[in-house]
């Protein structure tokens, strides 16, 4: 015995007569799982702190022959040496206790399984069958509540079904940091609830629906839509951001009815955000493109056959003076690879850019030469996490949960450099350094305490300040800290890896490196590749005369992009009608994520593969590009996603990079602000006017409101009161929204970048760093 | 919720309460009592302000306020009467007293008389079974009650002259005043009157007299 204690931190015990050895601190219920013994439970969840709330997991325990006087909750008791546990399988006492608890839990439960969303996949239903009495002795009147209560526009609560396990309240408090739902009242009236004036507007609220072990919490969108046994479930990957969540897509008769968080301990654990869970109707929206179109001479779009549309597109591309490819950030690795190869072979150019958004040349150099290496694991192990131009709760919510977990569990130090102190920054208890877009370089100098265990996470928005990406990369390198670049969209890391950018070939190979070109020529079986570095997005918009758009929304690029595109010949490949099809001469429909196979790379570069969840005639971009290339007699030979994947696998990673790409920023630029002026700052909120959220009204109901944020001093100087309508203007355009006092510097005004009434990219010359005037609306 | 609903003196007192604890969230319960001492019950303004003060979600403060029956979410009378209706008090007359007062006041559980002077609830055991049936007014003891004595209390309380508690201070203080004591601000009356009455000490004196000490 003493040997064991001194030589190991493992504990050996017996459960139902079987010996099992587990690490010290393991709960009895987990140790039993290891033996394959299932103890029924509701409140127990491996990622939440033990609660012992439901009492369903009662077992008989003795330690070295001394028995507990009554059955114990196995979800709260850690194992001990010499412990002997008897579950319902070997102890009549435990079995009777569990049956008694089940009978109590069911006394007020309505047993409305036939009309309950959870019926068929319900732990209460299942365990009532496996560990309950067939009959209840209760003959009284069941307690009822008004139902359902909408605790937010997305989550509905049926209180009479609740067994008070506190999974939802513990999740909200411990994992999401949003303790907006609590157990209220006491005794027979105890119930889950919100504070009446404050709805459950958490970005992670959908997880509570998923982990509710009964049908008490249901999603407004899925409620009464399907029975679980009519659904076909497919493992999938989330297409919304670069967090890389594993997902499950549930489909009935070819239509996605719901999406759930998948279980990947190295990425999203078992959680996801509400956008990933509840924004999927876009793929079945009315404005889906279902057939090719050609614009006729009078400028009207008409339906066309595939051969005609392909031949028209091929003609346009072959006759171009300067053809180019612009891609959105949502393509899969295989599709991006298709665009990359198509540009090089069919268009014989490097004029391709996946950054159909704000971009800079410094960013392109950064992407080609910096080697971001941080992972989720590094966040778990970090001594300090620094966030620059990156608001994880809005821009990569699972990265946020991971940082928050380390903050909660082990007080991880976090530094945030951002224009305003966001709710996320507050939840992370971060050291907040306020810095306007354009002025972050000074703020970086204030960051200290960086070691080789530190992690610097930099967002896509860093490109908006000249020199910032360079400085941060140099800072990380000099301290040996891990660096992570976290773009907003799911497809960007894959597009970069596929070489869908003017200075890179597949596998991060520089266009300018002859050896790199030879590598690619070998795989592609060709003799020559274009050698001139390709144009960037802005140059393509300016100079190219024929552009192939792959999933591009002009309103994401700039306020002038749409008019620039309208002067060119456009071939648009897209899933829905939008800004790109408005200016297109040929439209080719492609498959949405649920209709195709593919792979995203998350921000770590980890592949997130998925297979099609619904049957569809729509084809992945790479297939259509291959047909178009054939039509042009310049084949790229990628007839399937699989073919693309196989070819990508033939490229090794190119680790070499140049060291002299860095750009030094100015940092001292003086904007000469007048008394009524401030510098515009913005980022996109998680829930906003993003096009993949269209039609999701329940989701939109929990979005944070559009505000204009100023600090108190500035507001007082301008004689503005919190809550009143104020206006910011520049370039003879303006937007207005209610004023909110925020923690920031006096010269900063903050507005959400793409929220209702505040779509900055398509409105102002730049969505950040410009001078705007602030006044009463 | 802004601080506009509270005077600077009140806010200073709240800060004093918060300063008593190493972790500010521990102050939630005395602060709720303090809010009751200002408004007579826990108002939305109070919950929201406490949440802000302690960096808690309003839902968390509300959860505490709704759990404990001593926190009232709607106004009670100047004299809040609790009749113990647990087993011993109930059979000793508690049930009868409760139903008599219900008629007299004209309200149900947790209801207030029309003039706002008195309110009534039935309460769980207040650890005074040796004085059953027990009536609590603003958490002061009225021992060995009868229907008559309880009704007389209500009548007098309505005129502003409530009889003194049978234990505790010489004069009954109002609901708001006693709420401030519960918030941790002493009224200096803790040692007034008897605390352990004859019935509680009966066993002790018996034992002493029997010579077995």
**Per-residue pLDDT reduced to its tens digit, A423-462:** 999 999 999 999 999 999 999 999 999 999 999 999 999 9
Give the 3-state secondary structure of A408-423.
HHHCCEEEEEECECCH
Q: Which of A246, A234, A204, A364 is nearest to A600 (CA)?
A: A246
Question: B57 and A186: CB-CB below 8 Å?
Answer: no
Q: Which residues of B touch A181 (CB under 8 A)?
A: 59
- Per DSSP (E only), the strands in A436-532 are 455-459, 482-486, 504-505, 509-510
- Can you read off the two tokens belonging to residue A609? 């593969």
Which H or E element spans position B199? helix B198-209
**Residues in B 70-109 with any Cβ partner in A closer than 8 A:** none
Question: A181 and B56: CB-CB below 8 Å?
Answer: no
- Can you read off the two tokens belonging to residue A19? 């010996």
Least confident of A561-575, A664-678, B28-42: A664-678
DSSP letter at A501? B
What gap in Å lies between CA A710 and CA A716, rounded to an integer?
Answer: 10
Using the Cβ of B63 and the Cβ atoms of chain A, whether some distance falls under 8 Å is answered with yes
With beta carbons less than 8 A apart as the criterion, state whether A309 and A576 touch.
no
Q: Which of A452, A453, A446 is nearest to A431 (CA)?
A: A446
* Average pLDDT of span B174-187: 96
Question: B59 and A194: CB-CB below 8 Å?
Answer: yes
Percentage of chain A exceeding pLDDT 70? 98
Report whether the peptide linkage leading into residue A148 is cis, meaning its omega lies within 30 degrees of zero. yes
For residue A514, CA distances in Å to A500, A524, A526 come to 18, 15, 14
- Can you read off the two tokens belonging to residue A612? 């099609």
Using the Cβ of A174 and the Cβ atoms of chain B, whether some distance falls under 8 Å is answered with no
Q: Which residues of A touch B62 (CB under 8 A)?
A: 182, 184, 195
Question: A182 and B59: CB-CB below 8 Å?
Answer: yes
| Angle formed at CA A679 by CA A676 and CA A683, multiple of 5 degrees | 135
Residue whose structure tokens are 């040796």: B130
* Average pLDDT of span A212-224: 97
Q: What pLDDT score does A3 carry?
A: 43
Q: Which residues of B touch A178 (CB under 8 A)?
A: 57
Q: What pLDDT score does B212 carry?
A: 64
Mutate to test the interface with B, among A182, A199, A428 (most CBs of B within 10 A): A182
Give the 3-state secondary structure of A92-151.
HHHHHHHHHHHHHHHHCCCCCHHHCCCCCCCHHHHHHHHHCCCCCCCCCCCCCCCCCEEC
Q: Which of A62, A59, A114, A52 is nearest to A83 (CA)?
A: A62
Task: Label residues B105-139 b or e (16+ Cβ within 10 Å = b).
Answer: bebeeebbbeeebbbbbbbeebebbbbbbbbbbbb
CB atoms under 10 Å from CB of A654, counted, come to 18
With beta carbons less than 8 A apart as the criterion, state whether B166 and B153 touch.
no
Q: In what order do the strands lie in the sheet with B118-123?
A: B111-112, B118-123, B79-84, B135-137, B140-142
User: Residue A185 is nearest to which of B44, B56, B67, comparing CB atoms?
Assistant: B67
* Average pLDDT of span B27-37: 98
* Mean of all residue pLDDT scores within chain A: 95
- The yes-or-no verdict on residue B107 having pLDDT over 90 is no
Residue of chain A whose alpha carbon sits nearest to that of B1 = A197
- Tell me whether residue A510 is exposed, middle or buried, using C-beta atoms within 10 angstroms of its C-beta: 0 to 12, 13 to 18, 19 or more: buried
Q: Report pTM.
A: 0.94
Backbone angles phi, psi at A645, to 5 degrees: -60, -45
A6 band by pLDDT with thresholds 50, 70 and 90: very low
For residue B118, CA distances in Å to A206, A704, B100 come to 46, 45, 14
Q: Which domains does chain B have, with CATH numbers?
A: 3-67 (1.10.10), 79-182 (3.40.30.10)
- The yes-or-no verdict on residue A671 having pLDDT over 80 is no
- The yes-or-no verdict on residue A1 having pLDDT over 80 is no
What gap in Å lies between CA A40 and CA A57, rounded to an integer?
Answer: 5
B143 band by pLDDT with thresholds 50, 70 and 90: very high
Q: How many CA atoms lie within 13 A of A733 on its CB side?
A: 14
A666 band by pLDDT with thresholds 50, 70 and 90: confident
Q: What pLDDT score does A669 carry?
A: 60
Q: What pLDDT score does A657 carry?
A: 75
A2 band by pLDDT with thresholds 50, 70 and 90: very low
Question: A198 and B59: CB-CB below 8 Å?
Answer: yes
Using the Cβ of A178 and the Cβ atoms of chain B, whether some distance falls under 8 Å is answered with yes
What gap in Å lies between CA B83 and CA B96, rounded to an integer?
Answer: 10
Using the Cβ of B58 and the Cβ atoms of chain A, whether some distance falls under 8 Å is answered with yes
Q: What pLDDT score does A598 carry?
A: 97
What gap in Å lies between CA A405 and CA A414, rounded to an integer?
Answer: 12
Using the Cβ of A187 and the Cβ atoms of chain B, whether some distance falls under 8 Å is answered with no
Q: What pLDDT score does B2 carry?
A: 53
Question: B56 and A198: CB-CB below 8 Å?
Answer: no
Question: A195 and B62: CB-CB below 8 Å?
Answer: yes
Alpha-helical runs (H) found in A346-491: 361-369, 376-381, 392-395, 397-410, 423-427, 440-445, 468-479
Q: Which of A582, A586, A588 is nearest to A554 (CA)?
A: A582
Residue of chain B whose alpha carbon sits nearest to that of A426 = B55
């Amino acid at each position: 015995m003493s040997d064991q204690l001194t030589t190991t931190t493992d504990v050996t015990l017996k459960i139902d007569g079987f010996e099992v050895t587990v690490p010290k601190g393991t709960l009895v219920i987990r140790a039993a799982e290891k033996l394959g013994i299932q103890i029924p439970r509701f409140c127990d969840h491996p990622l939440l702190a033990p609660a012992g709330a439901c009492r369903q997991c009662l077992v008989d325990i003795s330690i070295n022959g001394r028995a507990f006087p009554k059955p114990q909750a196995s979800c709260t008791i850690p194992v001990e040496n010499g412990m002997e546990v008897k579950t319902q399988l070997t102890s009549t006492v435990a079995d009777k206790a569990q049956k008694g608890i089940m009978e109590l839990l069911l006394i007020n439960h309505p047993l409305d399984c036939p009309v309950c969303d959870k019926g068929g996949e319900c732990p209460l239903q299942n365990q009532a069958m496996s560990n309950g009495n067939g009959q209840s002795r209760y003959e009284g009147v069941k307690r009822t509540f008004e139902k359902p209560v909408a605790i937010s526009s997305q989550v509905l609560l049926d209180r009479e079904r609740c067994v008070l396990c506190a999974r939802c309240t513990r999740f909200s408090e411990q994992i999401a940091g949003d303790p907006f739902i609590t157990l209220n009242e006491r005794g027979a009236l105890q119930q889950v609830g919100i504070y009446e004036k404050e709805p459950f507007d958490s970005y992670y609220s959908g997880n509570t629906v998923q982990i509710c072990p009964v049908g008490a919490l249901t999603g407004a969108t899925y409620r009464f839509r399907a029975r679980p046994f009519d659904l076909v479930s497919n493992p999938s990957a989330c297409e919304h951001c670069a967090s890389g969540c594993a997902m499950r897509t549930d489909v009935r008769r070819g239509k996605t009815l719901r999406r759930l968080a998948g279980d990947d301990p190295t990425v999203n654990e078992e959680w996801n955000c509400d956008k990933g869970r509840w924004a999927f109707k876009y793929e079945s929206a009315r404005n889906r493109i279902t057939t090719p179109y050609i614009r006729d001479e009078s400028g009207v779009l008409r339906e066309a056959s595939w051969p005609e549309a392909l031949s028209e597109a091929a003609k346009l591309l072959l006759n171009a003076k300067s053809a180019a490819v612009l891609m959105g950030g949502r393509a899969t690795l295989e599709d991006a690879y298709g665009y990359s190869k198509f540009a090089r072979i069919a268009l014989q150019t490097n004029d391709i850019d996946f950054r159909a958004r704000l971009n800079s040349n410094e960013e392109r150099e950064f992407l080609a030469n910096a080697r971001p290496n941080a992972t989720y694991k590094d966040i778990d192990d970090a001594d300090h996490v620094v966030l620059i131009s990156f608001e994880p709760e809005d821009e990569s919510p699972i990265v946020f949960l991971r940082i928050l977990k380390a903050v909660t569990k082990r007080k991880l130090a976090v530094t945030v450099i951002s224009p305003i102190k966001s709710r996320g920054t507050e939840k992370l208890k971060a050291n907040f350094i306020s810095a306007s877009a354009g002025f972050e370089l000074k703020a970086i100098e204030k960051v200290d305490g960086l070691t080789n265990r530190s992690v610097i996470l930099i967002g896509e928005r860093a490109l908006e300040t000249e020199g910032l990406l360079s400085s941060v990369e140099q800072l990380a390198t000099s301290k040996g800290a891990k660096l992570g670049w976290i773009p907003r969209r799911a497809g960007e890391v894959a597009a970069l890896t596929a070489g869908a950018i003017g200075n890179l070939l597949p596998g991060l190979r520089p266009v300018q490196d002859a050896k790199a070109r030879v590598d690619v020529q070998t795989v592609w079986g060709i003799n020559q590749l274009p050698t001139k570095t390709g144009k960037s997005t802005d140059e393509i918009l300016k100079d190219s005369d024929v552009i192939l758009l792959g999933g591009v929304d002009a309103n994401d690029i700039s306020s002038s992009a749409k008019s620039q595109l309208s002067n060119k010949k456009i071939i648009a490949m897209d899933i829905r009608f939008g800004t790109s099809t408005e200016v297109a001469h040929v439209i080719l429909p492609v498959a949405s994520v649920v209709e195709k196979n593919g792979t995203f790379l998350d921000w770590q570069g980890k592949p997130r593969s998925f297979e099609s969840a619904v049957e569809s005639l729509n084809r992945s971009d790479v297939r259509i590009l291959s047909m178009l290339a054939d039509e042009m007699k310049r084949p790229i030979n990628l007839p399937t996603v699989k073919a693309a994947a196989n070819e990508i696998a033939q490229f090794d990673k190119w680790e070499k990079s140049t060291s002299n790409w860095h750009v030094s920023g100015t940092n001292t630029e003086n904007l000469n602000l007048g008394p009524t002026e401030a510098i515009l700052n913005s980022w996109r909120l998680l829930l906003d006017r993003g096009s993949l959220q269209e039609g999701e009204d329940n989701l939109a109901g929990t979005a944070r409101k559009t505000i204009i944020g100023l600090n108190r001093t500035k507001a007082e100087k301008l004689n503005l009161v919190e809550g009143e309508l104020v206006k910011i203007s520049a370039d003879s355009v303006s937007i207005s929204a209610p004023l909110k006092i925020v923690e920031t510097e006096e010269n900063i005004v903050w507005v959400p970048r793409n929220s209702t009434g505040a779509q900055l990219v398509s409105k102002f010359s730049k969505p950040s760093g410009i001078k705007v005037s602030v006044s009463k609306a | 919720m802004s601080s506009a609903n509270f005077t600077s003196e009140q806010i200073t007192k709240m800060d004093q309460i918060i300063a008593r604890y190493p972790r500010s969230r521990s102050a939630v319960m005395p602060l709720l009592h303090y809010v009751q001492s200002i408004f007579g019950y826990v108002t939305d303004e109070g919950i929201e302000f406490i949440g802000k003060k302690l960096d808690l979600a309003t839902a968390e403060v509300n959860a505490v306020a709704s759990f404990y029956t001593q926190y009232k979410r709607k106004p009670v009378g100047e004299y809040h009467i609790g009749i113990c209706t647990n087993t011993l008090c109930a059979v000793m007359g508690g049930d009868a007293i409760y139903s008599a007062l219900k008629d007299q006041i004209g309200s149900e559980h947790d209801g207030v008389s029309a003039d706002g002077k008195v309110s009534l609830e039935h309460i769980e055991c207040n650890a005074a079974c040796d004085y059953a049936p027990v009536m609590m007014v603003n958490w002061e003891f009225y021992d060995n009650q009868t229907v008559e004595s309880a009704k007389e209390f209500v009548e007098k309380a309505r005129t502003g002259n409530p009889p003194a508690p049978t234990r505790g201070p010489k004069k009954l203080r109002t609901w708001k005043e006693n709420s401030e004591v519960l918030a941790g601000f002493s009224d200096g009356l803790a040692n007034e009157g008897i605390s352990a009455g004859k019935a509680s000490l009966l066993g002790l004196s018996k034992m002493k007299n029997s010579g077995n000490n």
